[in-house]
Structure 1
């Protein structure tokens, strides 16, 4: 009986020993250090040393300041793989955008501007941090390209608008996309850096803010009722040419002949015949203070002065 117990205990001890032994084969997930990474990824390693990430202490992994492995995870299994690409680590293209960004948020969750990332349009559209930011290269914000070309990579419709004859001077470099939009999200619509479109516009166009004694309702409601944001083929970024833009609201017959001009209606006829039509900038020739007026007269109420 004692012999059987001895054999059982010996066998059990052998099993426990092998179960507890560290895996030194291809399943090893130990940290191997950046020098090991350098052996295969020398160009990437050299660029990393010059980057913001390379110059700062990286505390994103359980082992502080592990260099490459702070973001990519332990590289033991990756380094021991026989295949050329080895085991895929973080930031592999097949990984979901949320998982790739989660690596960045390990350190950058409290960074300035990231408070609204979870409710941003970029996140909900499966845009990951590494689609705009370079992990291994660059300084400062480490963007993969210059504005506005980086933004135009996805927003091709905005590129077309910015090339129209009337446009905000983005392509001239006088303003940037980031002057108006926060790519990491915000409380305003369209990721703008304000609570509303009007508040954003007023940052540059303060003279249009008011308050006025006589307010023009569409102006105080939303600038975009009359203006395009990025570009237009009409003067002053207008959504439609004058007088048709004005007549889209002021269509009731009154003091002026307000029938909209189309190709079916000509300008022929005398002024007394009732066939004259507004054309060109004629509305604005008289109603010059179209955003609002403080003049305490009827001319002020009608935005003439």
Structure 2
């Protein structure tokens, strides 16, 4: 099996509809996109867009989209976009392009209230490792041989 076929198979398995994260940050469920974070968190945003693979997680989904079923795509969206399946979250690349990657709000929660009031209490400041496991589950770690990285390039 060629390397590209192995990668395609892994992506299909990884993005299958069997794995839908059900993590909720609670509170406000309106997402604003990572660019809204840049206004106050310039350095973190610059590092995120430069170093974090999450900042470009839409690329692998777009690459595979034509070969996936709707259910498989939904599985991909649940981890590779921001807020998919949640109020105010990702709908499609056309309707909500600002949420089309796994942005700041995947770890820190929906940011509408925080971006308006700047109150540290209105956002998840320090995500727990448990919150990472919604996407970086044991099954996915075994399948793809990767580990969740706290501070994956942004901080």
What TM-score does the superposition give when structure 1 sets the normalisation length?
0.25
Q: Which has the higher helix share?
A: 2
